[in-house]
Structure 1
C-alpha cells in the first residue's frame, strides 16, 4: 500500500454496505487506502478494506495494541473514523493517540453506556431542568429484588433495557401488575453487561436529532405501541413547528455536549411533550443513524453525509449548507402477519412483495406513477429465523424498505402505516411454501 490511509474503527455487520461506500469515496476523492479494525474479521470484512487488523475494541488494552499493530503504517494514517458503539470510546482514544482529530474520548463513554449517560445528566440536572429537559429517574439492577424495589418506587410503570445494546434489543415496558419474575428472566442474557430501569418518559412523540458536526436535521420516529416499543419507521422531514423544533434541537445539542460530540456524527433520540415545550433524551449516539436515515437525508435534502464524514476526517469538508427538503422519504420495517419460521427463500422466485405493496399503497391514495417510489429494499437476514408477528426488537422483522414520496397528495406518515399493512398481504401472497413457527419462544 502507498498513499494516505483512512482508518475505520469497527462497524456493525448490518452496515457493511456503508463501509464499502465510505471506502469507495475515500479512494476516489482522497486517493486513500482503507484500513479496518475489527474483531475476528471475515472474508466479508476483507472485501471492503485494503487491510484488516484483527482487534476487539472492547479489549482493555485496545488503544495500546492498536497503536502497536498500526506502527508500520502510522506515518501514512491521515484520517480516522469510529463507526460502532462498541468502539466509541476506545476508538476515539486510539485516534487521539495517533494524532488524528477526533471528538472527546473522555466523554465518549456516555454514548455507549446508557447508565453512564444518565449519570452525566444527573450531574447537571438543575441546568437541564432550566432548559425544560426532563431527566428520568433510573437505577442499575442486577437482581429480582432490585427490580421489585424500582417497581415499588415507580408503580405507574417503567422501562427496562440493557446498558449497552442496540436495535431495541432487550427493551421492554413494565406496567403495574406485570409478572416481574418473567421480566427478570428476559433480562438474564444482558445482566453480565448491565441492565437499567428508567422512569417512563411521559411524552408520546419521538424524534431523533441527527447530523454531522454543526449540520443537523430532525427525523420523526414511528414506534409500535405496547410492551415492545420497537421502531417501525423513520420519516424525513420531521413534521414540527418552530417551537417544537427549538425544543428538540436544544435537547439534542445538550446530549452532544454531555457525550463530547463536536465534529463527528450523532444520532440522539428525543421525546417531545404534546405542548412542544419539554423534551427528554431517550439515548445519545456518536455514530451515524441506523435505519438508512443518512440515505433518507440524501434523497430529501440532496446532501451526502457519508461523503462529508470522510471529507471531515481528512479536513477538507466545505462549509455547512442550509438543508431544504425537496420531497419526503421513509424507511419502513416490514414484519410477518403471524408467528412463523421465515426465510427469504420462502418467497417465490419471481415475486416482489415490496414492489407489490408500494403499488397497492399508491393506488389506495390515488398517487400518479412516480409519486411513490422504491429506493431500497433488503431482507434483514438470508437465514431462516423464527419471527413474531408482534416484533420484540428490530431483528424480529423480515425486511426493511425505503420509499420516496413526491408531491402533496398524501402525507408520508399515513402512507407508511398503509404500506406496512399492504406488505403483510403482499408477503402472504408471495410465499411459495407456508412455514409455521418451528418452536415457541
Structure 2
C-alpha cells in the first residue's frame, strides 16, 4: 500500500526539534511519509524529513511552482501543516491547490503582516469597539517626516515596528521627548519590508490566546519594561480572574476570525486593561507560540498539541475535553549581567549555571526536592555574539530554560524574576571558573 504524505511547509530554524516531533508522530500514528518544503535546505533539514524540497515560500509564484512539483503525488498528499509566518499565506494557497484541508488562504495575510491586520481591524472597528476591544490608530511610514507626523498626532507615545517581523525584532517604544531620529534609525533595516507606527496601547498586562482549532488556553507573558519591551518569560497557567479570562478569550477569538483561523494553530498576543474589561490585540499568529508554549501546555495540561496538530491535519483528532492544569510552568529567557562578547564556550567545562540558578531559587523560596524542576535548557546560539545587558530583542539572550513548579508554596511569576537574578550570578561564576587543568600525556 502506498504511504500517505504529510506536507510541512516551512519552519523557523530554532524550531527544528518541533518538526522532528511532528515527523515522528506522523510516522508512528499515520504511517506517513513527511515532505518538508523550505528555502535553501541544509543537512539538518534532511535529518528531520523523508524528503525536502527547496522552494522559498516568499516567492510570488510559490503555490504555483509547489503544485507543479508535487502534482504527481497529489493523491498521496492527505494532510498539510504550515509552520512559519513567512509561509502562512503562500503555504495555505499551496495546500488549497492540492485539495488538502487548510484554513483560509485569503485572510491569512493578516497573520503575517501587522499592517494588513490593522487594516482588517479598521474595517470592522465598530464591531470590535462594541466588544471593548481597542483598535489602535496606525500608519505605514517610509520616512522620518512621516514618523514625525505620527508623533505629532500621538503626543502620549506610540510604537514603531516592522510590518512583518517576529521575535520582537525592531520594535521600539517612543515616549514623549524621545529622539525621533534615533527611533527611525533603529527601524531603517526593516524599511524594505515595511514599517508601521501604532498608537500606544495603554494596557500594562500582556497575555496570549493559544491553541489549536477550538481548543484554547491563556498564557501570561512577562516583558521587560522600558524602551525595548522584550519577552523575558511565558507562564502557564495565566493568573487571571474569570471576567479577565472572558475578555481575553473574546479578543482572541475575534482575532482568529479576522485572520481566517478555524482548525489550525494560533498564538494571538493580547494586552489587558487594569480592570480586566478591555483588551487590544498586539498581533495575531496562525502558528504555535514560540518560547516552548506548547511544551509548557504538555507539562501543565498533559496534552501534546504537536501530536494533535498532525491528527487534526489527517482528520483523526479525538475530543480533547477540558484543559485542567496540574502544575505551573514557565519558559525563561536568560541574558548577561553586563554588555559583553559571549559564546557558550566561555562557560567552564562541567559548569551548569542554569541548574545552579534553579537550585538557588528553590532554596530562596524554601522549596523541597521535586517542587521546582528543570525540564529543558538550551543555548540560543553556539556562535560568539555581542550581547546587551538590557536586551533589545530576543537575539540579546544567551539561553532559555523551562521550569515546572509543583505545589502552592510559591508563585511562578515571583519565581521567574528570582531565577533570572540567580542566573546572572550563576553565569558570572561559571565564566570566572579557572580553565580545567590539562593532564600530561
* TM above 0.5: yes
2:9 counterpart SS class: strand
Aligned residues: 434
- In the TM superposition, structure 1's runs of 4+ consecutive aligned residues that sit over 6 Å from their partners are none
Match of 1:60 in 2: 60
2:190 counterpart SS class: helix
Shift of 1:177: 1.5
Separation in structure 2 between the aligned mates of residue 69 and residue 54 of structure 1, nearest angstrom: 10
Match of 2:438 in 1: none
Separation in structure 2 between the aligned mates of residue 9 and residue 42 of structure 1, nearest angstrom: 15
1:40–1:54 CA contact under 8 A, matched in 2: yes
Separation in structure 1 between the aligned mates of residue 34 and residue 178 of structure 2, nearest angstrom: 50
Match of 1:367 in 2: 367
Correspondence list, 1:327-338, <5 A: 327-338=327-338
1:378 counterpart SS class: strand
Separation in structure 2 between the aligned mates of residue 367 and residue 301 of structure 1, nearest angstrom: 22
TM (norm. structure 1) is 0.97
Separation in structure 2 between the aligned mates of residue 433 and residue 51 of structure 1, nearest angstrom: 45
Shift of 1:432: 5.0
Match of 1:133 in 2: 133
1:126 counterpart SS class: helix
Shift of 1:180: 1.1
Match of 1:196 in 2: 196
2:423 counterpart SS class: helix
Match of 2:439 in 1: none
Correspondence list, 1:210-359, <5 A: 210-359=210-359
1:253 counterpart SS class: helix
User: Does residue 165 of the first structure (1) align with residue 165 of the second (2)?
Assistant: yes
Shift of 1:75: 1.6
Q: Structure 2: any 5+ residue segments left out of the alignment? A: 435-441
1:380–1:397 CA contact under 8 A, matched in 2: yes
2:168 counterpart SS class: coil
Match of 1:407 in 2: 407
Shift of 1:320: 2.9
Alpha-carbon displacement from aligned partner over 1:200-257 (angstroms, at most 9, x marks no partner):
1010100000000000000000000000000000000000111000000000000000
TM (norm. structure 2) is 0.97
Deviates more, 1:174-183 or 1:386-395: 174-183
Alpha-carbon displacement from aligned partner over 1:49-85 (angstroms, at most 9, x marks no partner):
1000000000000010000111222221110000000
Alignment RMSD, CA only?
1.0
Separation in structure 1 between the aligned mates of residue 250 and residue 320 of structure 2, nearest angstrom: 19
Alpha-carbon displacement from aligned partner over 1:267-326 (angstroms, at most 9, x marks no partner):
000000011100000000000010000000000000000000000000000013100000
1:24 counterpart SS class: helix
Match of 1:207 in 2: 207
